[in-house]
């Protein structure tokens, strides 16, 4: 602290009186302290002499609003008193309202496993299995057991991986339920007792003190210096002082004092419970990856369906195939054309990606969220505890001084006037501003300390300065109260300046503390001093995390816009936005209901939400609707948060991210949980998700191309040469391909600098080009073998057919040659689809390269040694194997030329057309809108989800699962007024005492 300053004694009291009598009475100054909204108590606009109210009256908020009505009216509506309920009344009400806990739906594990086999791709494979085992009987031949076993194996592997991943995901509603206070102190039969919080009912009298969790929504009937931390529920950064008749929320924490209150709502009807009802409200909705799978699956199914119909018409109609012979050809198309392993490959890719994200301290609870994170265009972030530290701090740069003390001295003196133990939030932040908290008592001897009193609104310390031996006194507190105490060096100029400073800070959402100082003559610590003098003004705020600004800048560089969505006050939100560079173009939550103001620049609410930098004063349903609106505008939306109030929006968002230190409720609802402080992990997660996205896109092009390649190739061969390729060998090709492609999950790729999106037109265009090119390579090879003796003459190879004799297209060795050619070049295609330039310029991972080599070694060994008459193949010589390899290399090299030609022509055209369409849409509507999915489309996409409606209904019908919490979103109102009114209505029908 600076050198001690000698102070002049103030004028004697009688002189002050004389001066005041000769002057005009000064105006009473009002200091505009920052504070939230306040509401005056009202009366229920109904006749309170009767309890039997009509339902329409109780649901009419204009008549009954238990959040704001007089406390006496609340007692009458809920038929209770300060003596609480009797045990009989409590038992009756427990039967009416249910327990004070949240119910969750348990899903049967077996039905959940079966649900992974319920999608169109799986249906086709299941149909193929039925064809192989049931419809293949006849003509003296046994069922096709090898194909049946192989198909079932593929289905089981796919389902097992998906089932394992989903069973590891958390249950958000269960996490919310576990967050409820387990015990409660309640007044029953006139006596205070401790019971399970789940046994509380509306009308109960409860008591809680510092450190307790509020067990249910209640109105306070007695409050002694009560401060409630409800940041996890409403997002307000500061603990809220509560007085008699105020409302407290279930799940909030008592930080100071003790209180008694009457329960007005319990369980799912509480503010906390309403948040839980929004979590998972759309659990039947279609995920983004399911939508993509649906469209890719539709593409493959349409291609297969067309050629299956053509084969039926041609093979049975023109060639008059027998029943069993035609089925084998159709099985080739079904088994080879369906990318049955696509969900499995993508699941493994995402699962490996989740493990990689864990290295960056990000735990993934829903693996499909990784794909959606790659395409996120808007990040909606909660403020308290997410962008900020949720820890009150004195802003040293904004300390104002009004006397000879420096800013550091003012902070030190205010720390003197603070508790060092059992601190409240304000004392804690003041002492925490010091470099060393021990300085708050260093160099002084405490003589007297007056803690914060809600009546005086200040603290005060009297101490002896050890260096000088003088007695001194410091007080800090509410500005208006402190300036009233000051008598020394108090001028109009200082008062005017203080008034301006307080108003400036209030407009910026900063709370203020005034600090005053006086010296005491003599050794009596209770003696009057020489008069308090105003020495400084402190500003209190919740500071941004140290890395938040950099994280936001990095997100913007990646093409992700950040919006603040907070339950705190508008002024605080704007100040935080300015400090972080987010901007202060923010709106209060009421605009979400009322719409944009007339004459503003926004014509619609959607435009306002899209353009805003953030929203303040929001509640769970507001956050939920903001996310929902942004999704409706075609954006993939991520939401970060840390409290139970964020859980509904975290659940609704495409990607919900719970930051470090989040509540169990937020972690349960989130898709990604961060385990270290700050948001920098999100930037790593976005980059990593885009790497994973590129891997999935590469595989999707490959899978669609192989579908075209198999279906078109073998259909044309059947039409031209009555070629009958064995279905079992197609199954071998599929198994080897899928095993190799699994290594794509660790392949080397570069992330994009803009949000990724699935441009399926591009994917299908590439797939058709590659598939047709590879089809030509196989057809030309077969023609050369059948129509010429080129290979026999040049390389001295032979088939079982005599040299010069007509060759049978269905010769078992020709089947083997075609198998090897298709297996090698089809799998080699992945090296082209995974690269943006020449395939040899982008080094694949060693895992992918090694898997390819192993798979082709197996294929070559099969070609050399497999004499499997049951599947119509016979081993070929090493010469033929070498010929096939050379043939494939020759045809493989021009594939990059096909890719570049596509980019320069068709892909360029598709991108230009898309850009023109978006530009026209923006010009016409101002906001790019997405087409509303038809009901049929929604049903089709939902079939690719892991949980489907009919499975759930079946589970409930046979007794699996519990009761699900379901609440109408339109009914959800601010705090709990409607819930409490519903309580009164139910009691009116089930009176618990004589009328």
Of the listed ranges 418-422, 425-429, 868-872, 924-928, the least confidently predicted one is: 924-928
pLDDT of residue 129: 82
Query: Which of residues 743 and 877 earns the better pLDDT score?
Result: 877
pLDDT of residue 664: 65
pLDDT of residue 48: 53
Query: Which of residues 26 and 301 earns the better pLDDT score?
Result: 301
SS3 for 220-266 is EEEEEEEEEECHHHHCCCCCEEECCCCEECCCCEEEEEEEEEEEEEC
pLDDT of residue 706: 93
Helix (H) or strand (E) holding 561: strand 561-565
| % of the chain residues with pLDDT over 70 | 78
Per-residue pLDDT band for 781 (boundaries 50, 70, 90) equals very high
pLDDT of residue 166: 55
pLDDT digits (tens, 9 = 90+) for 677-686: 767 778 888 8
pLDDT digits (tens, 9 = 90+) for 746-761: 888 888 888 988 888 9
Per-residue pLDDT band for 135 (boundaries 50, 70, 90) equals low
* Nearest-angstrom CA–CA distance, 478 and 495: 15
pLDDT digits (tens, 9 = 90+) for 308-362: 999 999 988 888 888 778 888 888 888 888 887 777 677 777 777 777 787 777 8
pLDDT of residue 883: 96
pLDDT digits (tens, 9 = 90+) for 931-984: 333 333 344 454 454 433 433 433 443 333 333 333 333 333 333 333 344 444
Query: Which of residues 934 and 136 earns the better pLDDT score?
Result: 136
Q: What is the mean pLDDT of the chain?
A: 78
Query: Which of residues 205 and 197 earns the better pLDDT score?
Result: 205
Q: Bridge-partner residues for 247, per DSSP?
A: 219
Query: Which one is catalytic: 382, 424, 671, 756?
Result: 382
Residue 433 corresponds to which tokens in the numbers above? 């501003």
Query: Which of residues 658 and 102 earns the better pLDDT score?
Result: 658
Average pLDDT over residues 871-892: 94
pLDDT of residue 572: 85
pLDDT of residue 780: 96
CA angle centred on 688, ends 685 and 689, rounded to 5°? 80
Average pLDDT over residues 227-233: 75
CA-based nearest residue to 791, from 877, 868, 861, 708 = 877
- Helical segments of 359-393, H only: 368-374
C-alpha torsion 412→418→424→430, nearest 10: -10
Residue 298 has pLDDT above 60, yes or no: yes
pLDDT of residue 425: 80
Helix (H) or strand (E) holding 707: helix 680-721
Average pLDDT over residues 763-789: 95
pLDDT digits (tens, 9 = 90+) for 544-599: 888 888 888 888 888 999 999 887 888 888 888 888 888 888 998 888 888 887 77
pLDDT of residue 94: 86
Of the listed ranges 327-331, 496-500, 699-703, the least confidently predicted one is: 327-331
Per-residue pLDDT band for 248 (boundaries 50, 70, 90) equals confident
674: left (phi over 0), alpha (psi -120 to 50) or beta: beta
pLDDT digits (tens, 9 = 90+) for 41-72: 555 555 555 544 333 343 344 555 655 677 77
pLDDT of residue 150: 77
Query: Which of residues 920 and 443 earns the better pLDDT score?
Result: 443
pLDDT digits (tens, 9 = 90+) for 513-548: 999 999 998 888 888 889 999 999 999 888 888 888
pLDDT of residue 823: 95
Are 529 and 447 a contacting pair, CB within 8 Å? no
pLDDT of residue 621: 76
Concatenating the DSSP letter of every residue in 589-646 gives TTHHHH-SPTTSS-SSHHHHHHH-SEEES--HHHHHHHHHHHHHTT--EEEEE-SGGG
Distances (CA, A) of 163 to 18, 344, 945, 946: 87, 11, 12, 8
Query: Which of residues 994 and 630 earns the better pLDDT score?
Result: 630
pLDDT of residue 649: 79
pLDDT of residue 278: 56
Residue 419 corresponds to which tokens in the numbers above? 């508790």
pLDDT of residue 773: 97
* pTM of model > 0.75: no
Q: Strand, helix or coil at 541?
A: strand
pLDDT digits (tens, 9 = 90+) for 375-416: 899 998 878 777 888 788 898 889 999 988 899 999 999 999
Query: Which of residues 106 and 383 earns the better pLDDT score?
Result: 383
Query: Which of residues 232 and 4 earns the better pLDDT score?
Result: 232
The owner of tokens 């050629």 is 307
pLDDT of residue 43: 57
| % of the chain residues with pLDDT over 90 | 26
Residue 25 has pLDDT above 90, yes or no: no
* Nearest-angstrom CA–CA distance, 204 and 202: 6
Spatial CB neighbours of 119, under 8 Å, sequence gap ≥ 6 = 293, 297, 343, 943, 944
Residue 440 has pLDDT above 50, yes or no: yes
Annotated catalytic residue 436: no
pLDDT digits (tens, 9 = 90+) for 704-733: 999 999 999 999 999 999 999 998 898 888
* Nearest-angstrom CA–CA distance, 801 and 816: 14
Burial 547-580 (b: 16+ CB within 10 A, else e): ebbbbbebbeebebbbbbbbbbbbbbbbbbbebb
Residue 441 has pLDDT above 70, yes or no: yes
Q: Bridge-partner residues for 514, per DSSP?
A: 477, 537
Residue 654 has pLDDT above 70, yes or no: yes
pLDDT of residue 928: 46
Residue 785 has pLDDT above 70, yes or no: yes
Q: Strand, helix or coil at 582?
A: coil
Do you know the residue count of the chain?
995
CA-based nearest residue to 821, from 728, 724, 887 = 887
The owner of tokens 């009797």 is 86
* Nearest-angstrom CA–CA distance, 118 and 120: 7
Residue 19 has pLDDT above 90, yes or no: no
pLDDT digits (tens, 9 = 90+) for 274-297: 666 655 444 444 456 777 877 888
Residue 985 has pLDDT above 60, yes or no: no
pLDDT of residue 21: 38
């Amino acid at each position: 602290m600076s050198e001690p300053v000698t102070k002049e004694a103030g004028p004697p009291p009688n002189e002050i009186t004389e001066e005041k009598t000769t002057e005009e009475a000064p105006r009473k100054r009002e200091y505009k302290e920052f504070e939230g909204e306040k509401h005056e108590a009202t009366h229920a606009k109904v006749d309170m002499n009767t309890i039997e109210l009509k339902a329409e009256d109780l649901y009419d908020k204009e008549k009954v609003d238990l959040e704001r009505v007089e406390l006496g009216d609340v007692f009458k509506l809920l038929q209770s008193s300060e003596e609480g309920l009797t045990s009989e009344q409590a038992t009756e009400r427990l039967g009416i309202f249910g327990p004070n806990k949240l119910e969750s739906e348990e899903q049967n594990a077996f039905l959940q496993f079966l649900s992974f086999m319920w999608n169109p791709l799986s249906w086709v494979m299941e149909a193929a299995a039925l064809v192989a085992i049931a419809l293949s009987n006849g003509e003296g031949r046994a069922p096709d057991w090898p194909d049946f076993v192989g198909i079932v194996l593929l289905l089981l592997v796919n389902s097992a991986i998906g089932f394992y991943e989903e069973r590891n995901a958390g249950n958000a509603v269960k996490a919310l339920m576990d967050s409820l206070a387990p015990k409660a102190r309640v007044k029953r039969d006139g006596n205070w007792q401790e019971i399970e919080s789940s046994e509380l009912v509306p009308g109960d009298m409860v008591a809680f003190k510092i450190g307790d969790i509020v067990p249910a929504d209640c109105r306070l009937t007695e409050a002694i210096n009560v401060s409630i931390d409800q940041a996890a529920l409403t997002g307000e950064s500061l603990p809220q002082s509560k007085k008699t008749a105020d409302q407290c929320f279930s799940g909030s924490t008592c930080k100071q004092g003790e209180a008694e209150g009457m329960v007005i709502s319990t369980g799912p009807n509480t503010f906390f419970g309403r948040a839980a009802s929004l979590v998972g409200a759309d659990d039947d909705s279609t995920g983004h990856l399911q939508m993509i799978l649906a469209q890719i699956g539709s593409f493959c199914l349409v291609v297969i369906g067309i050629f299956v119909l053509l084969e039926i018409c041609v093979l049975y109609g023109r060639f008059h195939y027998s029943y069993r012979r035609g089925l084998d050809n159709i099985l080739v198309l079904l088994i080879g054309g369906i990318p049955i392993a696509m969900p499995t490959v993508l699941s493994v890719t995402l699962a490996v990606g989740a493990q990689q994200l864990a290295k960056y301290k990000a735990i993934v609870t829903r693996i499909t969220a990784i794909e959606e994170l790659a395409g996120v265009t808007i990040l909606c972030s909660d403020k308290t505890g997410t962008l900020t530290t949720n820890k009150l701090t004195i802003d040293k740069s904004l300390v104002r001084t009004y006397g000879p003390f420096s800013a550091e001295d003012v902070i030190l003196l205010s720390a003197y006037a603070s508790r060092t133990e059992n601190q409240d939030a304000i004392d804690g932040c003041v002492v925490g501003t010091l470099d060393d908290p021990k300085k708050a008592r260093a160099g002084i001897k405490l003589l007297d300390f007056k803690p914060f009193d809600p009546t005086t609104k200040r603290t005060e310390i009297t101490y002896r300065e050890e260096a000088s031996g003088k007695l001194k006194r410091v007080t800090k507190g509410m500005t208006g109260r402190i300036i009233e105490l000051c008598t020394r060096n108090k001028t109009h100029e200082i008062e005017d300046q203080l008034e301006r400073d307080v108003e400036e800070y209030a407009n910026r959402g900063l709370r203020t503390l005034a600090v005053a100082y006086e010296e005491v003559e003599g050794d009596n610590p209770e003696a009057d001093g020489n008069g308090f003098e105003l020495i400084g003004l402190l500003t209190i705020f919740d500071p941004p995390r140290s890395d938040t600004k950099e994280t936001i800048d990095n997100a913007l560089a990646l093409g992700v816009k950040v919006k603040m969505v907070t339950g705190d006050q508008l002024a605080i939100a704007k100040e935080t936005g300015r400090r972080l560079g987010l901007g202060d173009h923010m709106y209060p939550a009421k605009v979400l209901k009322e719409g944009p103001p007339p004459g503003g620049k926004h014509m619609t609410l959607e435009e306002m939400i899209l353009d805003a930098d953030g929203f303040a004063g929001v509640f769970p349903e507001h956050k939920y609707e903001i996310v929902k609106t942004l999704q409706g505008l075609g954006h993939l939306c991520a939401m970060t948060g840390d409290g139970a109030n964020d859980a509904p929006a975290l659940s609704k968002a495409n990607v919900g991210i719970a930051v470090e230190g989040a509540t169990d409720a937020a972690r349960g609802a989130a898709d990604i949980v961060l385990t270290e402080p700050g948001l920098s992990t999100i930037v790593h997660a976005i980059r990593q998700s885009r790497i994973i996205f590129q891997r999935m896109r590469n595989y999707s092009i490959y899978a669609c191309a192989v579908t075209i390649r198999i279906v078109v190739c073998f259909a044309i061969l059947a039409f031209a040469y009555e070629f009958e390729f064995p279905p079992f060998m197609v199954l071998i090709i599929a198994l080897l391909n899928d095993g190799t492609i699994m290594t794509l999950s660790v392949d080397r790729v570069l992330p994009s600098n803009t949000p990724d999106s699935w441009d399926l037109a591009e994917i299908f265009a590439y797939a058709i080009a590659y598939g047709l090119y590879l089809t030509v390579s196989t057809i030309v090879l077969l023609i050369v073998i059948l129509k010429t003796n080129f290979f026999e003459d040049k390389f001295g190879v032979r088939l079982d057919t005599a040299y010069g004799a007509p060759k049978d297209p269905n010769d078992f060795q020709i089947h083997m040659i075609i198998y090897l050619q298709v297996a090698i070049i089809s799998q080699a295609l992945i090296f082209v689809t995974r690269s943006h330039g020449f395939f040899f310029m982008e080094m694949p991972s060693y895992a992918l390269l090694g898997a390819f080599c192993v798979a082709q070694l197996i294929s070559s060994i099969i070609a050399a040694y497999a004499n499997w008459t049951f599947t119509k193949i016979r081993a070929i010589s090493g010469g033929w194997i070498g010929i096939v390899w050379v043939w494939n290399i020759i045809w493989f090299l021009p594939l990059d030329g096909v890719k570049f030609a596509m980019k320069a022509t068709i892909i360029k055209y598709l991108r230009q057309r898309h850009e023109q369409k978006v530009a026209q849409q923006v010009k016409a509507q101002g906001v790019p809108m997405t087409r509303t999915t038809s009901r049929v489309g929604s049903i089709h996409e939902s079939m690719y989800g892991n949980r489907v409606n009919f499975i759930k209904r079946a589970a409930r019908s046979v007794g699996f699962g519990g009761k699900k919490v379901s609440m109408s979103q339109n009914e959800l109102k601010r705090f709990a007024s409607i819930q409490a009114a519903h309580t009164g209505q139910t009691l009116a029908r089930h009176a618990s005492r004589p009328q």
